[in-house]
């Protein structure tokens, strides 16, 4: 993990970033969250429309409510698929103590404008910038796709102040990493050179 005092090289950050699912209790300062969002909005967007908004959630009770809402829905969906590789996740979802947010101190929802056709692509690029910037600051992250289900719950939508004209594209958690697992290996890319 890199620290915020060393100059960091972008290819090192890209190579070393990994999803963090185990966090310390240390809070992430507001300045760091602002720096991460500032990096996010440097992403390219179709037609330069920048169709995003951000919701920063530091209320652990609200994150717990959101997780508790998503867990049984996810468990049901996963059970329907019945694949052996999802058994461990299914068991975790049935554990009352498990949080889909891994007890991270911050959740940032990257919201995309519904009336911009490219907003999912644009917000995804923004999200990757944010995760890389976080890593460069010594902060871990993980995209929690499962959390997009919160949009189906009007009470959560209202508590999270998600406007009607925006959708949740990237729910991202951030925090200082506790001991890390090794990064999953990448398959060799299939590359076709023409000519
Ligand atoms: C669109 C998307 C959705 C994801 N959803 C989840 C999720 O709900 N829970 C989770 O633990 N990780 C989630 N991840 C993280 C991936 O599991 C992770 O990126 C992948 O296993 C590769 O590992 P790495 O990020 O450490 O390189 C998601 C990643 C992406 C891009």
Look over the chain and give the mean of its residue pLDDT values, rounded to a whole number.
Answer: 95
What pLDDT digit, counting tens, does each position of 110-132 carry?
A: 999 999 999 999 999 999 999 99
Contacts of 185 (CB under 8 A, 6+ apart): none
The class that CATH gives domain 10-175 is alpha beta
* Ligand 1 center from residue 180 Cα (angstroms): 15
Candidate from 145, 169, 183 with most ligand 1 atoms within 8 A of CB, to mutate: 145
| Ligand 1 atom at minimal distance to the Cα of residue 170 | 1
Model confidence at 83, pLDDT cuts 50, 70, 90, reads confident
Output the pTM of the full model: 0.95
What pLDDT digit, counting tens, does each position of 88-113 carry?
A: 999 999 999 999 999 999 999 999 99
What are 108's two structure tokens? 């940032």
Residue 18: pLDDT over 90: yes
Measuring from atom 7 of ligand 1, which residue has the nearest CA?
144
Candidate from 90, 92, 124, 143 with most ligand 1 atoms within 8 A of CB, to mutate: 143
| Ligand 1 atom at minimal distance to the Cα of residue 183 | 26
């Amino acid at each position: 993990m890199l620290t915020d005092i060393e100059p960091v090289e972008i290819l090192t950050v890209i190579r070393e970033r990994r999803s963090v699912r185990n966090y310390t209790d240390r809070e992430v300062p507001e300045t760091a969250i602002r720096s991460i969002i500032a990096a996010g909005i440097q992403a390219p967007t179709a037609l330069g429309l920048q169709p995003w908004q951000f919701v920063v959630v530091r209320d652990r009770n609200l994150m717990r409510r959101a997780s508790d809402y998503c867990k049984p829905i996810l468990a049901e969906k996963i059970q329907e698929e019945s694949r052996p590789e999802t058994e461990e996740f299914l068991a975790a979802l049935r554990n009352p103590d498990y949080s889909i947010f891994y007890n991270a101190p911050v959740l940032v929802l990257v919201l995309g404008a519904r009336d911009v056709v490219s907003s999912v692509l644009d917000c995804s690029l923004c999200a990757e910038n944010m995760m890389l910037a976080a890593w460069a600051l010594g902060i871990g992250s993980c995209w929690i796709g499962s959390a997009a289900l919160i949009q189906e719950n009007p009470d959560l939508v209202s508590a999270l102040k998600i406007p009607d004209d925006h959708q949740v594209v990237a729910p991202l958690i951030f925090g200082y990493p506790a001991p890390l697992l090794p990064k999953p290996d990448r398959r060799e890319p299939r590359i076709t050179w023409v000519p």
